[in-house]
Amino acid sequence: MRNAALVLGVIGGLWGMVVGFFSYGYTELLARYEELARSGIPVNDPALVRLVSLLAPVLAIAGGAMARSANLAGGILMLGAAAGMYHAFGFGVFTMFPIVMCGLGGLLALLARRPDPH
């Protein structure tokens, strides 16, 4: 289970990076071009979106990397990444895979009782 948590955390973090790049970029466009801010999709809290765009993928990748040796800490980091992405970005077409992968990886890491056989 720890190996599955590792893979899910790393892949979820990489997909979270893609979502984070576009989300951060969109908040930058809204800040620079007022016309787009008036006519485009509004962002309620750009600072939160920017913070989660950076931190959530890092937490997911770090949690996945820790899943084999320190499963409790790794699971908590991956669940925190999933919760942050859900809170900042919502659950949609582009966010469903990183949120579910990080959440499932976090649960598997927390439920792992003994090391995986090699």
pLDDT tens for residues 77-116?
999 999 999 999 999 999 999 999 999 999 999 998 776 6
- Residues 111 and 71: their CA atoms lie apart, in Å, by 9
Of residues 56 and 35, more confidence is placed in 56
The rounded Cα 95 to chain-centroid distance in angstroms is 9
Count CB-CB contacts under 10 A for residue 40. Answer: 12
pLDDT surpasses 80 at 37? no
Tell me how crowded residue 7 is: count the other CB atoms within 10 A of its CB.
15
Token readout for 106 is: 């976090």
| pLDDT attached to residue 116 | 60
The domain ranges of the chain are 2-111
Q: Give the span between the Cα atoms of 15 and 81, in whole angstroms.
A: 12
User: How confident is residue 9, by pLDDT bands cut at 50, 70 and 90?
Assistant: very high
pTM: predicted TM-score of the whole model, two decimal places: 0.89
What are the two backbone dihedrals, phi and then psi, of residue 68, each rounded to the nearest 5 degrees?
-80, -40
